[in-house]
A and B are shown apart, each in its own frame.
Chain A
Amino acid sequence: MMSDVATRFVVGRSIVSAFAIIGDLLKPKSFAGLFGAAPSVALATLLLTTYSKAAAFTAAKAHTMVGGVIALFIYANCISYVLMRFNMPALAASALFTLLWLGVAIGWLLA
């Protein structure tokens, strides 16, 4: 159990950081932003899942991932709009809208 968590931590941090660094390196900013929605956590988690669980488990995870993706689309658009229109600090906007992400994603799961 603990070794599984440790493996996830190591693999996850490596893949997420790799995508973040690629995003840092690229210009213009809107293109670099694509990497803010890179499948970094998904890639790490699903690859590890393929070693320990059946293929159906991976497919089931990807099916519900759609809800999280829709929430992410709304989240990113809201942040972009609020930063442009209301001059709100980026950290405050992104932290505030994380609650919106959670609401939409959980709503999708329960619907």
Chain B
Amino acid sequence: MRVSIDVSSVRRTTVFEYAIRFLLGGIITAVTGLIANRFGAAAGGLFLALPAIFPASVTLVEKHEIEKKHSTGLRGTIRGREAAALDAAGAAIGSIGLFGFAIFVGRFAGSYSPRTVVLSATLIWFATAGPIWRLHKSRMLKRFKARLAINDPRYRDTD
């Protein structure tokens, strides 16, 4: 499956929807800093992986898919939820990359320039999550094709 850029979903997002995520992002980062200052690095660290804007994002994905189906005269509720579920599945894979990020920073921030380590860790996140997504997708495709093959009369046992 090919990754592509779809500008239409950005156009569908309203200013209010952007503002919500903009605000939430700022609030969560500020609160994480306050927690670290008040309760120490250990507690602050936990909140670095807080799904801060995930509820807002996944709701938007669902809403946009429903709107797309509405425009073709369908309800689109199920399609909307399926799209949101796929988004969440992607986030689960992204969290494996985030694990790589945390391990990398934890291991090297004390030995090298912390700023360089944090920026490099962002590349580690993508370099981990991207290939896992690719692998997951190809496995899913294989399973899907295998299921099609079972239902395909050409593959059925004709005895």
Residues of chain A having any CB pair with chain B under 8 Å:
4-6, 8-17, 20-21, 23-50, 55-73, 75-77, 79-81, 83-84, 87-91, 94-95, 98, 101, 105-106, 108-109
Contact = CB atoms under 8 A, between A and B. Distances in A.
B49 A43 contact: no
Interface in B63-91: 77-78, 80-91
A38 B125 contact: yes
Interface of B: 1, 3-7, 9-10, 13, 18, 21-30, 32-34, 36, 41-55, 57-62, 77-78, 80-99, 101-107, 109-110, 114-115, 117-119, 121-122, 125-126, 129-130, 133, 136-137
A15 B45 CA distance: 18
B33 A45 contact: yes
A95 B55 contact: yes
A20 to B, nearest CB: 5
Nearest to A71: B49
Contact of B25 (A17, A36, A67, A72): A17
B159 to A, nearest CB: 36
A21 to B, nearest CB: 7
Main SS at interface, chain A: helix
Contacts of B32: 8, 41, 45
Contacts of B106: 59, 62-63, 65-66
B13 A24 contact: yes
Given A39-B101, A59-B109, A61-B44, A31 B90 contact: yes
Contact of A83 (B22, B46, B81): B81
B9 A36 contact: no
B48 A45 contact: yes
A101 B122 contact: no
Q: Most chain-A Cβ atoms within 10 A of its Cβ — which of B13, B23, B25, B49? A: B49
A91 B55 contact: yes
A9 B26 contact: yes
A12 B23 CA distance: 9
A30 B29 contact: no
A90 B48 contact: no
A34 B41 contact: no
Contacts of B107: 59
Contacts of B3: 26-28, 31
A39 B121 CA distance: 9
Q: Most chain-B Cβ atoms within 10 A of its Cβ — which of A11, A17, A71? A: A17
Contacts of B50: 41, 68, 72, 101, 105
